[in-house]
Structure 1
Amino acid sequence: MKLSSETMILWLIVLSAIAILNFVLFLVSSAQKSKMRRQFKRWQGIHQTADLEAVYAQTIDKVREAEESLANVAANVRAMETALRTKIGTPSIKRYNAFSDTGSDLSFSIALLDDTQTGVVLSSIYGREESRTYGKPVVEGQSTYPLTSEESEVVSLSKHKVPKQLV
């Protein structure tokens, strides 16, 4: 069987096209292989064995640890908020002149109350001959002892100084 020169040229063109196509495919596969090697090295940076299941398991463990830590922090914040409500807030004070024969506002009443308006009112009455100090317990803004107008005023002022609840 004898092939004509035209058939040989046609075969040569077809084989050349196949060779060029193979070369292009070789370049594309080399580029993909290089890309995959870079990705593999990145994964090895996360975990030396590059075992995706191990990386996933470690990630889940770290998330659980973070959730537990966050729950502990939230519990501590709630405990601190509860404790803070029972601490004395900003004191309220009123200075006044208890007696008309004294020269200035040397008497005072001070309210030391927490967020629930529970605590104590201290009053110091200054006179020329003597001074007296009184303490009266206060529970939820009320005292079992009669409050003077100045003491009632500092309790009332203390109510307005109560900080807003933390959200």
Structure 2
Amino acid sequence: MFASIQPYETTIILAAGVVALIALILAVSGLIGQRILKRRFKKWRTIHATADLEAVYAQTLEAVEELRSEFETLQSEVQRMRKQLRHKVSTPQVMRYNAFAEQGSDLSFSIALVDDEENGVVISSIYGREESRTYAKPIKGAVSTYPLTAEEQAVLSHVAVTEERSND
């Protein structure tokens, strides 16, 4: 049966077989591609029931605009809070000391309560055997209109050093 086949016929049969094999590969890859596209289409349909891409795009733009507006509101709120925070007491500092050499312990103290702009108050309590006194001296720009004791100046300068370290 095969003995009567001519050499050119063999070539034609082989070429037809190769073409059939290529067609089979293309058909299988086409089916795989179609399944991938169906999955992608199903994903798009889950985004919006009608899969109307223009509507999805419009909704996305609206959502972005809402987020932009909310972001601007939050930015202005943060700016307002930063302004307020600059006027809050930063890092209170306390210094205890012995106001009188004849008494044996550090019962006197000075405390500095200032904001970031170095405005606030220095409170000092001087302890003595017979009496104790408490003083409050206003501070504006790290300077007081009342004379500051060495301890009050030290506690005020300690606040400034602490603030510089925390800003670094």
**TM class by shorter-chain length?**
0.7 to 0.9
Deviations 1:84-125 (A, max 9, x none): 111111111111111122221111111001111110000001
The Cα shift of 1:26 comes to 5.3
Equivalent of residue 167 in structure 2, options 153, 159, 164: 164
Partners of 1:40 and 1:22 in 2: CA distance: 26
Identity of aligned residues (%): 47
Give the secondary-structure state (helix, strand or coil) at the position aligned to 1:136: strand
Return the structure number with greater helix share. Answer: 2
Q: Residues of 2 paired with 1:95 and 1:32: CA distance?
A: 81
Instruction: Sort the Cα spacing of 1:22 and 1:128 in 2 relative to 1 into closer, same or farther, 3 A.
Output: closer
Residue 136 of structure 1: how far off its partner (Å): 0.3
- TM-score, length of structure 1 as denominator length: 0.80
Q: Which residue of 1 aligns with 2:134?
A: 133
Q: Distance in 1 between matches of 2:25 and 2:110?
A: 94
Matching of residues 81-96 of structure 1 within 5 Å: 81-96=82-97
Answer with 106-115 or 36-45: which moved more: 36-45
> In structure 2, what residue type is equivalent to 1:83?
Q
- Cα separation, partners in 2 of 1:23 and 1:131, compared to 1, 3 Å: closer
Amino acid at match of 1:44: R
State how far apart, in whole Å, the 1-side matches of 2:82 and 2:29 are: 63
Unaligned runs of 5+ in 2: 1-5
DSSP 3-state at the match of 2:102: coil
Segments of 5+ residues of structure 1 without an aligned counterpart are 1-5
TM-score (norm 2): 0.79
What is the number of residues matched between the two proteins? Answer: 157
Partner of 2:80: 79
- CA RMSD for the aligned pairs? 2.7
1:27 is displaced (CA, Å) by: 4.8
Task: Measure, in 1, the Cα distance between the counterparts of 2:34 and 2:111.
Answer: 80
Residue 161 of structure 1 aligns to a residue whose secondary structure is helix
- 1 CA distance for matches of 2:117 and 2:24? 84
CA shift at 1:35, angstroms? 2.8
SS in structure 2 at match of 1:40:
helix
Query: Is it true that 1:35 corresponds to 2:36 in the alignment?
Result: yes
**Counterparts of 1:50 and 1:115, CA distance in 2:** 56
